A and B are shown apart, each in its own frame.
Chain A
Amino acid sequence: MKSALNYIIIVVATAILQLFLPWWVIVVVPFLVYIVRSDTPLIAYIISLAGVATVWFAYALFLNISTQASMSDRIAQIFLLPSGSILAVVTLVGGLAAGFGGLAGHYVRQLFVKEAY
């Protein structure tokens, strides 16, 4: 339940903030979430990754479908990526960066809060 809420916070906050702020809010948001809210390091990592991956994947998929992949196919070729893999690559990069943000938030919290993790 707690994880579900954290997940929703990350999804909603990164989706909205990215409309105004640079890409790196996907690292900052999970970091702040797990400074404020407690959970195990593994779950902090996974929920952060999943939250941002969801946002990036969903929006990229939407753009990809609505533009018939007319740009992403060409970018994939420039970066020598197998066709169709670019969506996964992008999702993974965003997710990993966010995951480490959440993990860092968790461990910074541990410096100040006594918890059984």
Chain B
Amino acid sequence: MKLLKAILSVSIALGLLYALNRPWGPVPILGSFLSPFTGFWQNGEPAISGEPVDVELSLDSLREEVTIHYDNVGVPHIFANNIYDVSYAQGYVTAKDRLWQMDLQVRSAAGRLSEVLGPQTVEMDRRARRMGLGYGAEINLKMSMSDSITREAILGYTAGVNNYILQLSPKDMPIEYKLLGYEPEAWTPLKCMYMLENMTLTLAGRADDLAMTNLMKRLGDGPLNNLFPDYPMLQESPVIPAGTPWNFIPLPVPDAPRATGDTARVAYQSLPLSEPMVEGIGSNNWAIGAEKSATGYPILANDPHLELTLPSIWYQVQLHTPEINVYGVSLPGIPGVVIGFNQNVAWGVTNVDADVLDLYEIKFKDSTNSQYWYNNAWQATRKRQELIQVKGMPDAVQETVIYTHHGPVMYYEGEKHNGPTLAVKWIGHEPGNNFRTFYELNAARNYEDYRAALTHYVGPAQNFIFADNGKNIAMTVNGKFPLKWKDQGKFLLDGSNPAHDWQGWIPADQNPHVKNPPRGYLSSANQSSTDPSYPYYINWRFGPSERAIRINERLESMTMANADSLRLLQTDNFSVLARTILPTLLNYLKTVPLSSAQKSAVETLTEWNFVNDAKAIAPSIFDEWISNIGPAIWKDEIYSDSTSYKYPSRDRTLFLLLREPDAPWFDNIRTPAKETINDVVYGSFKAALDSLTINHGPMSTSWQWAEVKGTEIKHLSRVLKPFNAPPVRNGGGASIINATTKYHGPSWRMVVELGPEPKAYGLYPGGQSGNPSSPFYTNMLDKWEKGELNELIYLKSSDEKNPRLTSTWTLKKK
């Protein structure tokens, strides 16, 4: 009896201990997670940190002493004696604030999410492996490590992150590690490269080749070229102002090969669906020359639009060494500043959206996939073994990625889809040293330094805006661009035909470029890089033109501008799209008998000033209406539930509505009746009101634009809702300069007044800390929502006093 009691009670105690000491599905190890000594309690941070504390640390592998001053926004201002130490400190403080974010983004690019998240991410990981992100990261690492400066920066950054991880006790690990039940692992130089690959994937990792090939089959050449032209038909305001001379002798561009029947081999069949490009990933930048500014010096502005998440995409930092003194935003995981300014210059970027991802149809000799047909002979493939470890599974998933000379094979015939085998040729596989570009920009003193810095850059191609205190402004559409025949890669390419290979590269000094244009300002907003006079092909489609048109109209009329004028332009909510099309649409409704609810919607729209203000109702109606019109015109001819497809661009659709009202496309070919433009306009208007009523009730304040748009800033995990930002209620929209949509928006806003002393302003929708309980998690969000900016503290030396500095960290050599 005694024995039984002893065995029973010990069993219960051990059983409890066991149950509380292991994870249960998504539930973390409860014993340590709930314990106030080790668990989530330890991640709490006081809302107002009392008296800021100065910290002194002695650290391994530091070369000399480093001083870091924190300001009241949470930005570290780092003072070091060499590039290694400044990168070390940048790595250390970034890891302190953003370790888990860096970890997750590297895992995502490296196809290693399943290691910590389990079987549900295996397919994502497989895609990352097949996309060759590891291959791209490795060859880029070789380039960066063979350059003495970037090597120092990467090694310093890596040592800094690792020394932070080394001193991190389990109780101090970021909350996400505790919830997901894994621990940080060492940082490596290769991981810096994965972060770059990640950005290249986000900004230049899509192609419409499949959709366009399918549509070519269905619509035929004539209609296809008519509906998918290579330059906007209605309106455009290209990045390089029309009329800018091309001061170079272009390389000969090969002619497009005659259709040999090879591409026609691609049967009209189901092809894997590619992810469409989301409108919202884009950006604005501009600069005004001295003649337009009140300061007598140029002023530069930039706001990159990305998916808005927490922890924030960007991390503000000032880096000071004897050679550089730069302030701006960095990407966690990458040394240096990506967008910023120094004593003499400022620069910013927007995405070019060049056609740098092409799909090639591959024919293997047999099922071993060891040879493929190219140039009338069998060529050997290379194989790269990939192992995907999966949490909770005893064996790793094996994936053999086959490499052709084009690139890795993404899709195999007979696998899930019944399309052909496709290899991907992608700029992310091209060796380069983007770090050198960023380092040289960080250190740049003038226009010549800026131009030299850009020559090292490969991708993702960006519109690099520039201004300096020598009163220059400049724009370069920059990246390594393949030399292609016109429209090469608009459709699927034949992987066996050498004429379909990329034909070389556009020389870097022939990339579209303009300096100090007569009009006195420059801008970019993802629109067409140049007008059709540029002798090379970059892409057949770019971002829509409305933001660029509005920016250029405002800049054209601007005089005596200061930083605040440009801040107001960054938060401009005017809809060029509505101005262009709404009066015409409303005209068509005049002939239709309307219900009283419809009449009051028409009245609201008629009175609207085309401004997407947060509290206005008209933008909600217009947005829903215009997004219904495209499908109402094109769905019957183009939509397919089994193959990739793409609707004509907004510009082409507007052109149809405004200039081709009798076009046959308005008829719905799936009905016997003959529909006209009137039916499309009224039908989509009715559908828009119905859908708003279903989702938001009858027209009232619940239809206000900020409510309907419903901008959300989610935690990177996507599932930990309590870590999301509070609801965001601002104006803006997809075609608006203030490009805030449901999930995307201005991820950093910066305005820099050049001059003897730079004056700069900026913030992003979040905060420096990645800890959801930190007062620095979302401390910039309120101001961002209101369209305000923080003045950025640019210190000239470590001794400089500033009332906004709060604490000092000293890193000493151990």
A positions within 8 Å CB-CB of B: 18-19, 22-24, 26-27, 31, 56, 59-60, 63-64, 66-75, 77-78, 89-90, 93-94, 96-97, 100-101, 103-104, 106-108, 110-111
Contact = CB atoms under 8 A, between A and B. Distances in A.
Given A27-B16, A68-B46, A93-B20, A110 B40 contact: no
B2 A71 contact: no
Contact of B36 (A31, A56, A96, A103): A56
A67 B46 contact: yes
A56 B35 contact: yes
Contact of A63 (B8, B41, B772): B41
Between B8, B41, B45, B721, the greatest number of chain A beta carbons within 10 A of the residue's beta carbon is seen for B41
Given A70-B47, A72-B41, A107-B8, 16 more contacts: A18-B37, A23-B37, A23-B39, A26-B35, A59-B36, A66-B44, A69-B44, A70-B773, A71-B40, A71-B41, A71-B43, A74-B722, A78-B721, A103-B12, A106-B9, A108-B10
B35 A74 contact: no
B42 interface: yes
B17 interface: yes
B396 interface: no
Contacts of A24: 17, 20-21, 31
B17 A60 contact: no
B597 interface: no
B116 interface: no
5 contacts: A63-B44, A67-B47, A74-B723, A94-B35, A107-B10
A92 to B, nearest CB: 10
Interface in B13-32: 13-14, 16-17, 20-21, 30-32
B258 interface: no
B16 A70 contact: no
Nearest to B175: A71
A108 B6 contact: yes
Given A72-B44, A74-B722, A107-B5, A18 B35 contact: yes
Contacts of A63: 36, 41-42, 44
A63 B41 CA distance: 6
Contacts of A89: 34
A72 B32 contact: no
Q: Which are the 8 A-B pairs with shortest beta-carbon distances?
A: A67-B44, A70-B773, A71-B773, A71-B44, A74-B722, A77-B722, A60-B36, A104-B13
A70 B61 CA distance: 36
B47 A101 contact: no
A13 to B, nearest CB: 13
Interface in B352-395: none
B47 A97 contact: no
Contact of B32 (A23, A66, A71): A23
B31 A97 contact: yes
Contact of A107 (B6, B35, B43, B46): B6
Interface residues of B, number: 40
Contact of A22 (B13, B32, B723): B32
Interface in B759-806: 772-774
Nearest to B6: A107
Contacts of B774: 70
Contacts of B267: none
Contact of A78 (B6, B20, B41, B179): B179
Interface of B: 2-3, 5-6, 8-10, 12-14, 16-17, 20-21, 30-32, 34-47, 175, 179, 720-723, 772-774
A27 B46 contact: no
Nearest to B14: A104
A77 B715 CA distance: 14
A26 B17 CA distance: 10
A94 B31 CA distance: 8
Contacts of B47: 67-68, 70
A94 B34 contact: yes
A78 B34 CA distance: 13
Overall SS of chain B's interface: helix
B31 A71 contact: no
Contact of B16 (A22, A73, A97): A97
Contacts of B43: 71
Contacts of A103: 9, 12-13
A39 B9 CA distance: 15
Contacts of B40: 71-72, 75
Nearest to B42: A63
Contacts of B12: 100, 103-104
A18 B44 CA distance: 19
A89 B40 CA distance: 14
A26 B34 CA distance: 12
A74 B773 contact: yes
Contact of A90 (B6, B10, B36, B723): B36
Nearest to A96: B16
Between B34, B46, B179, the greatest number of chain A beta carbons within 10 A of the residue's beta carbon is seen for B34
A107 B9 contact: yes
A22 B22 CA distance: 13
A73 B37 CA distance: 18
A83 to B, nearest CB: 11
Contacts of B723: 74
B261 to A, nearest CB: 59
A73 B773 CA distance: 9
A55 to B, nearest CB: 8
A40 B3 CA distance: 17
A64 to B, nearest CB: 7
Contacts of A75: 40, 722
Contact of B35 (A23, A73, A78): A23
Contacts of B20: 23-24, 93, 97
Contacts of A70: 44-47, 772-774
Contacts of B36: 56, 59-60, 63, 90
B41 A64 contact: yes
A41 B752 CA distance: 73
A77 B772 CA distance: 13
B721 A77 contact: yes
B35 A67 contact: no
A24 B14 CA distance: 10
A60 B41 CA distance: 7
A93 B34 contact: yes
A93 B36 CA distance: 12
Contacts of B32: 22-23
A12 to B, nearest CB: 14
Nearest to B44: A67
A63 B30 CA distance: 18
Contacts of B773: 67, 70-71, 74
